[in-house]
Structure 1
Amino acid sequence: MFWLLFGIFLAACMAVGATGGLFPPGAWYRQLNKPSWTPPDWVFPVTWTTLYVLMAAAGARVALSPDNALAMALWALQIAMNGLWTPVFFGLQRIKLGMIVLSLLWLSVAATLWALWQVDWIAGLMFVPYLIWVSIAAALNWSVWRLNPKAANEKRAVSS
């Protein structure tokens, strides 16, 4: 049963990850000023793949546990927030709104980590790297916002 649930959770993660292909960074992002500590492009798919496997394993572990309702609800919330950021930041090219979404994502990941930990500490531990990565992403989003005040204040037209 674990492997079936793991596959379902992993499919949810990969569906969210597919937004990167639907809304790639493109020329707009490449032209933005970014902090010197911005990770190289290859780091993002490697990191997200690892995180998605951990997130799916944590979800599957807790799905099999009693008293998991809050943890499962928060798992669903965080994956929804995760899936929202890419279309907002890269698709709509809205840096400030992306920061708001990322802040909500951070809160939902932290709450999910706590709720998972209450049910299964190993599942909670599996979310620690995710919270660290979202913290880095938030710092990067914030820095891009601060380094690009004109781009952050523009109302971007969505190109088809």
Structure 2
Amino acid sequence: MTLTYFLLFLAASAAAAATGIIFKPGEWYVGLKKPGFTPPNWVFPVAWTYLYVSVAYAAARVAGVEGSQIALALFAVQIALNTLWTPVFFGAHRLGMGMTVLVCLWAAVVAMMLAFFRFDLIAGLLVIPYLAWLSLASALNFRVWRDNRS
């Protein structure tokens, strides 16, 4: 792993995170009915910061390893889908479409994790918290979508 790879993957993650600055939850989101298992607001930036850094580190561990092109392409797919979710959900207020993006993102992260495991045990393990968080996010998105269909 090199620092250059890590910084490049971290930059891609920062671009994804920047959508949260542009498309904030706002009053629209505050007014939605949310399930009781919704984490407090402060948890989201803390969790995402950890996840973006750890997944960037995981990708950097895999980068440069012979034959890792598909694994790195899957990183690109998942970060693109990750970037898309915020403007779809918070920007366009398309809860169902947000759910669709999350299902695709979840599948891409599973594929990326499995590919990372082929090259580096630690890289694969670093993706597990991301998958767990996306599972929670998917449950939240689904319940918000289901409970606010008006």
Q: TM-score range by the shorter chain?
A: over 0.9
Q: Tell me which amino acid in the other structure corresponds to 1:132.
A: A
Could you tell me which residue of structure 2 aligns to residue 28 of structure 1? 28
Whole-angstrom distance in 2 between the partners of 1:149 and 1:22: 25
Could you tell me which residue of structure 2 aligns to residue 65 of structure 1? 65
Output the TM-score relative to the length of structure 2. Answer: 0.98
Q: Structure 1 vs Structure 2: percent identity of aligned residues?
A: 54
- Deviations along 1:64-91, one digit per CA (max 9) or x if unpaired, are 2111011011010000000000000000
Q: Say whether 1:132 aligns with 2:120.
A: no
State the superposition RMSD in angstroms.
Answer: 0.8
SS in 1 for 2:104: helix
SS in 2 for 1:149: coil
Whole-angstrom distance in 2 between the partners of 1:9 and 1:146: 34
CA drift of 1:146 comes to 1.2
Whole-angstrom distance in 2 between the partners of 1:122 and 1:70: 18
**Superposition misfits of 4+ residues, deviation over 4 angstroms:** none
Whole-angstrom distance in 1 between the partners of 2:2 and 2:61: 7
Q: How many residue pairs are counted as aligned between the two chains? A: 150
Greater C-alpha radius of gyration:
1
Unaligned runs of 5+ in 2: none
Whole-angstrom distance in 2 between the partners of 1:73 and 1:5: 14
Could you tell me which residue of structure 2 aligns to residue 102 of structure 1? 102
Whole-angstrom distance in 1 between the partners of 2:17 and 2:4: 20
- Deviations along 1:98-129, one digit per CA (max 9) or x if unpaired, are 00000000000011000111111110111000
